Amino acid sequence: MGWASAVRKPTAQTKVAAAVKIVSRPQIETADVDWDRLVSLDFETFYDADYTLSKLSTSEYVRDERFEASMVGIKIGNKKTKVVPHSKIAAELAAINWETHSVLCHNIQFDGFILSHHYGVFPKRYYCTLGMARGLHSNEIGAGLHDVSVFYGGKGKIDGGVEGMKGVRFKELFANKPLWKRSAEYCANDVDETFRIFCAMHPLFPAKEMDLIHMTARMFCAPVLKIDIPRVQTEYEREVTRREELLLNLLNPRDYDDVLDGKDKKLEGKERDMRIVKKVVGSNERFVALFEALGIARDQLPRKLSPAWMKKNQAEREEAIDSKWAFAFAKDDLDFVSMPDRVWGYFPHLDPANPKDVLEAAELSEKLQQLIDTRIAVKSTINITRAERFLKAGANGMALPVGYAYYRAHTGRWGGNNKMNMQNLTRGGELRLSILADKGHQIAVADSGQIEARVNAWLWDQFDLLDAFRDKRDVYSEFATDIYGRKITKEDKNDRHVGKVCLAGDTRVFTNRGLLSITDVKPTDLLWDGLEWVKHDGLIYQGYKPVQKHRGLSATGDHEILTARGWQEWREVRTNPSLFQSALSLANSPSCAGNPMSAPMASSKATGLFAAVRAATSPLWPRATYVLAVPRAATCAPSALPLSNGTGSTSTPWRMTTTGRGYSTAFRLLSVGAATRATHRISTMANAALSSGMVGATTEHHFWCTCKRFLAGTTRLWSLIGSTTTTATDPAMSGLQPSLSTLATSARSKTWSGASANSKTRTHVYDLANAGPRSRFTVMTDDGPVIVHNCVLGLGYQMGAPKLQMTLAKGALGGPKIALSIDQCQHIVNTYRRKYYAIKQGWDRSKDFIEHMSNPDLEPIQYKCLEIGFEYIRLPNGMCLKYPDLRMAKGEKGWDEWSYQSGDIRKKIYGGLLCENLVQALARIIVAEQMLMIDTKYPVVMTTHDEAVTHPKTKDAAKCYAFMEKCMTTPLWWCPEIPLAAEGGFAENYSK
């Protein structure tokens, strides 16, 4: 460990460099290759016009009965490459001792799968120059053999080497000597260039990354997992049926026969009808016409910047300015998928107050939803095609080739391969559950818990987060609770990321303007949270959902209510008289001065001085009344009192700090520094209206009269039902409100059964975002106020308000969709950045890294395990994040933006995005090297994001999982202090 000063870019506004903690990094350890036993090879295979890899996955192509290896080029060590014809391939390969020999290819999964499936060859080790090129030269060059060969000074692939081979079987090829010779030269050249670039890249390539290439190739070329064919078949049929119903119910195909052309005109029956609907819905112009037929004009339809236009350079954009905007008809376009919720805006002639118009609006909304669902079904068939590939892969009991593209992402993450994208299997989904262990084995899964959040906190020294991880607290739940507003636990599943936000539109909310319907609450209104007036971030519409009604409150069953047993779901509170009564007892309503008023007084049954709060539209008393009062001393109470309880329960005295002569707790008194202890609710007539101050607060000048002496004190309510009486009540208190009445316990019991009957209906539901520091506000029931929680949201790396809005509307991390205004999202973003200031500073430091990378005259600097140099950041495993041609230019919005060249397009980069790149790259290194630890004892057969999956024997499953958990909680040498965690288990299928 050591310290180093960062070298800054010299500018007119040079920033002062901060000392940063670094970790010394050893030289790159390269793989120990047995060069004499390295077999470089390349297969040339038969293919025809209708049977190409562009249509089939690798495994489908190789396993097809028509497959034929026309020839293979083989080079062992430094020996001359020889080309072996089809008839001699098996014998030539069998002559090699594969227990001691390794195989090298460019795209090892293709040639390696041919070796294993057709020739039973499983080499000692797999090497792949395609993977090495991706890892070493990401963003610089293409990873194809020709590009890499030329980059390393070679001649590349022979141009036109396979011309004339299409559709030619081996016998025909071998008989055509000129064609055979040209094809053989082409094959041999590929082998020679593969070996040459391997020799060039090997000294630059870390040994552990070479191990990962081998492990990735083995998952595909030597598969062991099986497929539950009946389960996949059921899922496939369900998806096909759902899609057919969507398409065939949308329109009458006979009205669109003219859209068919060519071979499509010969189709008949359902196949013909499906083709017609696909063509109509798949065409933007015809799809627009369907909206116009409903009465929605073309210019009302959602639009977005054209992705094709965005890829053009500035000059090309100016020439193609007319194509800048495109219709936003994709499944990720918020304005498109939310069209049914805006039906009143599209059809302003409809009157929400007219029952007939309401029915018509509902029908139009359903038609819009049908259009949207059908468009998405036509454009996205991933569930069907993936199920088809699973069926083909597992046919006849064959093992599932688990394909990943090594170093597919800029940050080193694996990508999808073999047209299945095994990185994107939904947890709990049917396809994931259909993956089975072989007989006598189990599938063991260990997931690196919150790895990116841990790395992010470690990288930028967000110590409070690190401490929470180290203490094994559920940080995701705490994060959601602290930032976004409701108590979240691990059992809440989706609710760790998004909120349960569901109150009916007629819910009555306590505001500083009085009791208002939740839909009438404005962002400027203050909400009563039971202790004080708090701000909020406005109304959130949450769709049309089923609600449960009881005693005047309608809410979804999962909305939480504060009770004596903590936060409980409305479905439980509504059906449990004791819980409901305790919710009433813990709540209170505000008085004129902003002090709590007890539930009985705020109840619909209350009369007299405070009953009007239920409909108040302004404070009950003007401030001028109470500012003229004479200062008095703070209250005090005796240390003990004789107790009396109307319902048989026992109460405890309410104690307060003595700061002077005692006066009645019925009123708030003016005092310079007096403070009283906390009391959530006092159930004692007038005293409940204006009780003492909050915890730690001084007694202020907000009171409306002085009071008489009262030294007897009061008692605090603890019972879940009924009311608690007080002793030695001052006459002044009892006389203030002679008309006040409360329900007796017996009367409440008599009316409960009728009130608690189920009342489930569907209605529009809402919530109020971020209601103060306690994330709660007060609503009114027929029996009095109760306290409810508000919504939960989620954020990412330097995510701005627009992106947050879009992310939540799509359904963050698979959760329910939440629609927020841009102002609400901006407030949430600001709250996040205030809380996690060290991470925010990390974004700023990342921006400084960008500036440093852009200057070729600066020496590399180090920050922790990173080396920042000209257009690169070297990672602790020896690999680099590369940002070629990094420069600043004016963006479309007129401000300076950094960008770099990635292939044939330019990509933007900014502090938050670089931070994300760094965190993802470091997290990937941790998980990858943990998998290598596991692989030394139990071969890894799959990986999904941050999961390692093994295939132990059933008798060893528990021991295997324990070893996996140990490996995935072991930090690497460059981050020894980072707290890691893992969770998972084992089963007969991929269910963990």
Residue of higher predicted confidence among 431 and 708? 431
Write out the two tokens for 58. Answer: 């690798």
Helices (H), 295-326: 307-310, 314-319
Q: How many C-beta atoms lie closer than 10 Å to residue 730's C-beta?
A: 21
**pLDDT of 691 strictly over 70:** no
Confidence of residue 359 (pLDDT cuts 50, 70, 90): confident
Confidence of residue 513 (pLDDT cuts 50, 70, 90): confident
Q: Report whether 226 contacts 942 (CB < 8 A).
A: no
Mean pLDDT of 27-42: 91
pLDDT of residue 2: 34
What is the helix (H) or strand (E) element at residue 82, kind and residue range?
strand 82-85
Distance CA 236, CA 223 (A): 23
Cβ neighbors of 797 (< 8 A, separation 6 or more) are 456, 843, 912, 913, 915, 916, 919
pLDDT of residue 375: 92
With the C-alpha atoms ordered 384, 385, 388, 390, is the resulting torsion angle positive or negative?
negative
Distance CA 275, CA 279 (A): 6
Reduced DSSP (H G I as helix, E B as strand, rest coil) percent helix, strand, coil of the chain, to 5: 40, 15, 45
Q: Report whether 979 contacts 426 (CB < 8 A).
A: no
Pick from 300-304, 376-380, 399-403, 889-893: least confident: 889-893
Q: Report whether 981 contacts 971 (CB < 8 A).
A: no
Between helices 957-968 and 911-935, what is the axis angle to 10°? 140
Q: pLDDT tens across 578-597, in order? A: 888 888 887 876 654 444 44
Query: Per this entry, what is the length of the chain?
Result: 992
pLDDT of residue 719: 32
pLDDT of residue 540: 60
Q: pLDDT tens across 51-93, in order? A: 555 578 899 889 988 888 989 999 999 999 999 999 999 999 9
What is the helix (H) or strand (E) element at residue 182, kind and residue range?
helix 177-201
Please, what is the average pLDDT of the chain?
75
Distance CA 311, CA 949 (A): 38
Q: Report whether 280 contacts 259 (CB < 8 A).
A: yes
pLDDT of residue 692: 36
- Judged on CB neighbours under 10 Å (0-12, 13-18, 19+), 96 is middle
Distance CA 365, CA 358 (A): 10
pLDDT of residue 489: 63
Mean pLDDT of 761-779: 72
pLDDT of residue 824: 63
Percent of the chain's residues with pLDDT above 70: 69
Pick from 32-36, 319-323, 423-427, 611-615: least confident: 611-615
Mean pLDDT of 331-360: 84
**pLDDT of 645 strictly over 50:** no
pLDDT of residue 613: 36
Phi, psi values for residue 754, rounded to 5°: -70, -35
**pLDDT of 673 strictly over 80:** no
Between helices 837-853 and 822-835, what is the axis angle to 10°? 90
Distance CA 288, CA 291 (A): 5
Distance CA 756, CA 751 (A): 9
Residue of higher predicted confidence among 637 and 442? 442
Distance CA 709, CA 696 (A): 24
**pLDDT of 101 strictly over 50:** yes
Mean pLDDT of 158-176: 76
Confidence of residue 506 (pLDDT cuts 50, 70, 90): confident
> DSSP secondary-structure letter at 879?
-
Phi, psi values for residue 896, rounded to 5°: -70, 135
Between helices 577-586 and 745-755, what is the axis angle to 10°? 120
pLDDT of residue 517: 85
Q: pLDDT tens across 719-758, in order? A: 333 333 333 333 333 333 333 333 333 333 333 333 333 4
Map residue 676 onto helix, strand or coil.
Answer: coil
Tokens 């708030």 locate to 668
Between helices 463-470 and 475-484, what is the axis angle to 10°? 140
Distance CA 26, CA 571 (A): 60
Mean pLDDT of 804-813: 55
User: Could you give the C-alpha distances from 366 to 282, 290, 350, 360, 546, in angstroms and in order?
Assistant: 20, 14, 16, 10, 17
Write out the two tokens for 662. Answer: 């005692």
Residue of higher predicted confidence among 899 and 648? 899
What is the helix (H) or strand (E) element at residue 503, kind and residue range?
strand 503-504
Distance CA 667, CA 665 (A): 5
pLDDT of residue 56: 81
Tokens 């060590």 locate to 77
**pLDDT of 952 strictly over 60:** yes
Distance CA 850, CA 909 (A): 8
Helices (H), 105-176: 108-119, 129-136, 145-151, 170-175
Confidence of residue 777 (pLDDT cuts 50, 70, 90): confident
Mean pLDDT of 554-569: 78
Q: Report whether 815 contacts 522 (CB < 8 A).
A: no
pLDDT of residue 134: 95
Tokens 């973003």 locate to 829
Percent of the chain's residues with pLDDT above 90: 38
pLDDT of residue 614: 34
Pick from 296-300, 839-843, 928-932: least confident: 839-843
What is the helix (H) or strand (E) element at residue 186, kind and residue range?
helix 177-201
Confidence of residue 678 (pLDDT cuts 50, 70, 90): very low
With the C-alpha atoms ordered 228, 233, 238, 239, is the resulting torsion angle positive or negative?
positive
Q: Report whether 679 contacts 597 (CB < 8 A).
A: no
Q: pLDDT tens across 830-869, in order? A: 666 777 788 888 988 999 999 999 999 999 999 999 999 9
Pick from 344-353, 554-563, 634-643, 766-775: least confident: 634-643
pLDDT of residue 537: 59
Mean pLDDT of 390-401: 93
Q: Report whether 209 contacts 138 (CB < 8 A).
A: no
pLDDT of residue 551: 86
pLDDT of residue 479: 56
pLDDT of residue 818: 58
Distance CA 853, CA 9 (A): 9
pLDDT of residue 811: 52
Confidence of residue 819 (pLDDT cuts 50, 70, 90): low
Q: Which of 630, 600, 619, 930 is nearest to 748 (CA)?
A: 600
- Planar angle of CA 97, 102, 108, nearest 5 degrees: 125
Q: Which of 198-207, 331-340, 529-538, 798-807 has the highest mean pLDDT?
A: 198-207
Q: Report whether 737 contacts 685 (CB < 8 A).
A: yes
**pLDDT of 7 strictly over 70:** no
With the C-alpha atoms ordered 698, 702, 707, 710, is the resulting torsion angle positive or negative?
negative
> DSSP secondary-structure letter at 881?
E
Cβ neighbors of 155 (< 8 A, separation 6 or more) are 149, 193
Cβ neighbors of 810 (< 8 A, separation 6 or more) are 332, 334, 337, 817
Cβ neighbors of 427 (< 8 A, separation 6 or more) are none
Phi, psi values for residue 454, rounded to 5°: -70, -45
